[in-house]
Structure 1
């Protein structure tokens, strides 16, 4: 389980097979239990008492339940330890990754529910006889300290760094700040410390001393970040951890984040990643209404763009969304070449084709405004109430710099789209590896208010993307800052999606 942690498990949701789900509901009624989770624990425990899981294919069509119902913070390590130990000793499966753990839990739940149901039938459906069977079979769970001594808890929490509260307090003292740690949360890459200041007048000293704090804590070139706390006299200090403790959020995390998003075709919800404590970040592109994604080569810009596009495809149909994809460098959007979501059923590949598509988008915008005017409405949402349904068009340019530097006239057309296209249901995602004043000039910047900055080389580049420094201190590998219009900047970590992951999600 080297790639997941207990926090990741507690944030997940689990399900069993459809057949076992029905058996679980029956057992709920038999035992007078109010939740499926209570039966699931009995079923998993029943299965863990047996040997290797069979090769039976188990579907995942039962209704899912949150891990917070199935486990508690106090006993999750025990359950995870038992499942992993069973897999290791019986050779059931390689225990790497969240998908594998989901599969193991689903199989145990499926097998155990069937066995419990058989116990109920074999007791002639007599409650006292059935409960007596359960009591006689019950085995005490191992003591927590035994599990910890065997290293099970450490394996399950491999990505959680040791608590550095003491070192943080000592380091704060070295820069002249007296404080006390009130809480700790281990996120995917950072550990968040809730710190109470003994003297609020020392807040300015803390803000000015972050570089010295990094030096005192031996953070190398990584910088801690400071944000407001949730109570008087408190602040949040996010401290980067070594890379070998990072938890990677991938395809399944993105799917889980989008499960709460409605599929009504009225919004453009995207999720570029999770925040510093592992909660999904989501926003609506219809209110953004246009987005710039910038970062240095190799820092995760392309993967971020894929996450945004996959978010849209997952929650829409071609009747409510079309993608106008422009790829001047001819390298990024091949995976979408056969997608049913393509605007006019094609992509623009290469500079000339991209310029033509921008002209077509401007013409489309003008035509839509003409049609809206005929209906005497101001937006496609109002037009839909009158019976005219127009799909959203999300226009994505992979490398803005290449396009703008080749033809300055293109910039003016993009600016016109940014100024006017929102009401017509056309929204822009502009991506660049060269965020500078020549490729993202003032008029365009003022009309593209939503920004995502990945790691950049200089503070001046961060200033171009975010209108403030900070992106030069990011950790790379998808670490980002998300800044939406009218809100504070938020630190985030992008989903890690392979091209295979993207292809599987695009194939819809």
Structure 2
């Protein structure tokens, strides 16, 4: 291999004496600060070798340095073996050095958990104090204030930027100057250092290499603020290996400077806590070790959960960064200054990034009123060129928050949330935990169906409603066995939920109106049966009933009703059943989730909204649709493709905006993944499902009603049967053909007298 060919060349005695190498237990803040402040112009190296289940830290100090540490000295040549056969990456600032990174700690502390046997990661961070750095950054900052958006670290490039800028000025081209940024000024005030960061990855499997690169990139994203760190591949050559081995700034890179606090963010580690037994680690992060149902003591094995997680796609591309927020924020500040909305400078307090929305919190002078800025929001939006711009008061004193859509939205995968430590913790206390998505600030959002109760979900075609429902069903199935949870799915479109037909939790999927009504009738009947059972024991909750000795354990029942409005329009009985279930089924462990593309006012009335207490709206067709769902218009423009609003009695805020997750963006791949997961379930479908009896058809109901009552008035039949008048007329015409009725003119009908023989034949 390449490295072995050159290994002899790099083991000369001269090279060995370049640095003193110390083995360090932990790069704590005191040690790092001590080393940085001892030597003025020496290159210092912080090195780390991460293995499966362990980590080694080395500190390199030039031999001429007067720093002496009590830690053990080691051979400097270990680095050659460490980087053998590794893919190497250079980590550099994406923008000019004046733009600061965010403060964070322990970026790589838990990396050993994601490594498999034989894999390793090498990190070398070189730094050296630069006296000229402050002068260089001040010059960059002056150029930035003059209107150059991203002053280059390279002097010749910056000269060209200034030349172009001056050329436009001479042509009287309108150029905006940039406002002062306190965070940039704070960075310039700190001690500044040149740096070089190289990361090596070794894994036998090519896909694992790509995955580990993704994990490291995600860790580096924690530092993204006005600037971000980017990884680029280093071509293997003698110069690169010599640079790493001799701890020199020899990799082809423009000089970049970072502050002392930024070095602490990259290097300092906080003490690692021991992993808990109920957490296992797979390809990218912590996942559920076992889905335990405390009520029935049934368990999904960790092996099962690991296989499921491996089937689910995860976020492979780098997440969108705050650089976009930085640029738009500066534009907003400039517009407010130019339009005399705010004459004094504003400080950027914080920038928060969700998968869909950016939030920027700014301080404002105490003499500026919030309402004075609010009335100019639309002018600011147009001037900046944003699709949408919202302004709200922030929690900090004298501060405001601008919110605007990201140009490049991030895809939220179900795996990213289901494998998060937050969701794992939540599942331990929730009875029916399900995933909602990521909130506006990028935090996982999930709830317990026993708290949110029944749900109404609205969204036009392409809004993400179906993807959301798929995520709800799947997350519940992965955390409850089919003996603890039964699904009944009404799918009039016939295609959206067909992929769940083989899941052992799914007792029935129906597509016809008559079948749908029969399912809801059976669920309602089961609700009444459960109340009767609980009444015998003076119990009013399913959980209390299931712990009784010698009783049949009753599973939770979740009924998914898609295209709810259309079903009600075809058969009003559907609405009656939904209302009954909504009013009293919770204590019986039965929940209904209704989805609709068109929230009709006649269908989604006050009674429905009162009983489906949790409402979710994806992008709908009109302003009135949102008002129909929520009762009032939320004043937020939803962007489609999973962007949604949640209103729930369990939430402290009136509305929570979130991005819904997907199993996969491809419908075909989603179907295949769900089938593969289905094949993994270690259970058969239980035989104790509901008995669904066929209900009389509209034809049978009308015929029976007329024979028993003798009433043939179309209006009264329509009211009693709760059917469309045209449906009633067509059926009554059919009864005329059969000889049961006769037309008497002007659309009226008369019941013929029935002989005993004819009555028997008709029945």
Could you state the TM-score of these two structures normalised by the residue count of structure 1? Answer: 0.71
> 1:390-409 maps to which residues of 2 (within 5 A)?
390-409=554-573
Partner of 1:101: 214
Partner of 1:421: 585
Query: Cα–Cα, structure 1 residues 471 and 203, in superposed 2: closer, same or farther, change >3 Å?
Result: closer
Q: Indicate which of 398, 404, 428 corresponds to 1:239.
A: 404
Q: CA deviation at 1:143?
A: 8.4
Q: Which runs of 5+ in 2 are unaligned?
A: 1-50, 58-77, 89-105, 112-121, 127-195, 219-243, 258-316, 682-763
Q: Indicate which of 333, 341, 350 corresponds to 1:176.
A: 341
> 1:48-197 maps to which residues of 2 (within 5 A)?
48-51=83-86, 69-70=109-110, 82=198, 92=206, 101-102=214-215, 139=247, 146=254, 159-162=321-324, 163=326, 164-173=328-337, 174=339, 176=341, 179-197=346-364
Q: Indicate which of 525, 542, 547 corresponds to 1:385.
A: 547
- 1 or 2, which has the higher strand percentage? 2
Q: CA deviation at 1:227?
A: 4.2
Residues 113-166 of structure 1, C-alpha deviations (whole Å, 9 max, x = no match): xxxxxxxxxxxxxxxxxxxxxxx96856888975989xxxxx956554431221
Secondary structure class of the residue paired with 2:109: helix
Instruction: Look at both structures and tell me which one has the larger radius of gyration over its CA atoms.
Output: 2
Matched-pair contact (CA < 8 Å) for 2:322–2:353? yes
Query: Cα–Cα, structure 1 residues 236 and 158, in superposed 2: closer, same or farther, change >3 Å?
Result: closer
Matched-pair contact (CA < 8 Å) for 1:368–1:424? yes
Q: CA deviation at 1:92?
A: 4.6
Partner of 1:217: 384
Matched-pair contact (CA < 8 Å) for 2:618–2:645? yes
Q: Indicate which of 366, 376, 388 corresponds to 2:538.
A: 376
For residues 505 and 205 of structure 2, the distance between their equivalents in structure 1, rounded to whole angstroms, comes to 43
Matched-pair contact (CA < 8 Å) for 1:328–1:398? yes
Partner of 2:458: 294
For residues 481 and 409 of structure 1, the distance between their equivalents in structure 2, rounded to whole angstroms, comes to 29
Q: CA deviation at 1:451?
A: 1.3
Partner of 2:394: 229
Matched-pair contact (CA < 8 Å) for 2:487–2:558? yes
Count of equivalent residues:
414
For residues 259 and 333 of structure 1, the distance between their equivalents in structure 2, rounded to whole angstroms, comes to 25
> 1:248-267 maps to which residues of 2 (within 5 A)?
248-257=411-420, 259-261=423-425, 267=431
Q: CA deviation at 1:416?
A: 0.7
Q: CA deviation at 1:255?
A: 2.3
Q: Which runs of 5+ in 1 are unaligned?
A: 1-19, 29-42, 54-65, 106-135, 150-154
Matched-pair contact (CA < 8 Å) for 2:418–2:424? no
Query: Cα–Cα, structure 1 residues 185 and 495, in superposed 2: closer, same or farther, change >3 Å?
Result: same
Residues 392-442 of structure 1, C-alpha deviations (whole Å, 9 max, x = no match): 111111211121111112101101101111111111111111023123111
Pick which of 298-307 and 137-146 moved more. 137-146
For residues 123 and 388 of structure 2, the distance between their equivalents in structure 1, rounded to whole angstroms, comes to 32
Residues 216-265 of structure 1, C-alpha deviations (whole Å, 9 max, x = no match): 2211xx322344423222233221121xx222121321322474145569
Residues 309-361 of structure 1, C-alpha deviations (whole Å, 9 max, x = no match): 1121121111221111111221211111001101xx32222222111100000
Secondary structure class of the residue paired with 1:382: helix
Highest relative contact order (Cα 8 Å, sep 6+), 1 or 2? 1
Secondary structure class of the residue paired with 1:198: coil
Matched-pair contact (CA < 8 Å) for 2:616–2:644? yes
Query: Cα–Cα, structure 1 residues 433 and 77, in superposed 2: closer, same or farther, change >3 Å?
Result: farther
Matched-pair contact (CA < 8 Å) for 2:352–2:441? yes
* RMSD (CA atoms): 4.0
Matched-pair contact (CA < 8 Å) for 1:267–1:286? yes
For residues 147 and 77 of structure 1, the distance between their equivalents in structure 2, rounded to whole angstroms, comes to 17
For residues 373 and 200 of structure 1, the distance between their equivalents in structure 2, rounded to whole angstroms, comes to 65
Matched-pair contact (CA < 8 Å) for 1:404–1:410? yes
Q: Indicate which of 486, 490, 503 corresponds to 2:656.
A: 490
Secondary structure class of the residue paired with 2:615: strand
For residues 483 and 500 of structure 2, the distance between their equivalents in structure 1, rounded to whole angstroms, comes to 17
Q: CA deviation at 1:380?
A: 0.4
Query: Cα–Cα, structure 1 residues 166 and 320, in superposed 2: closer, same or farther, change >3 Å?
Result: same
Q: Does 1:446 align with 2:481?
A: no
Partner of 1:358: 520
Partner of 1:436: 600
Matched-pair contact (CA < 8 Å) for 2:418–2:435? no
Structure 1 residue ranges, 4+ long, deviating more than 6 angstroms after superposition: 43-46, 75-81, 140-145
Secondary structure class of the residue paired with 1:273: strand
For residues 273 and 470 of structure 1, the distance between their equivalents in structure 2, rounded to whole angstroms, comes to 19
Partner of 1:347: 509
Query: Cα–Cα, structure 1 residues 319 and 218, in superposed 2: closer, same or farther, change >3 Å?
Result: same
- 1 or 2, which has the higher helix percentage? 1
Partner of 2:486: 322
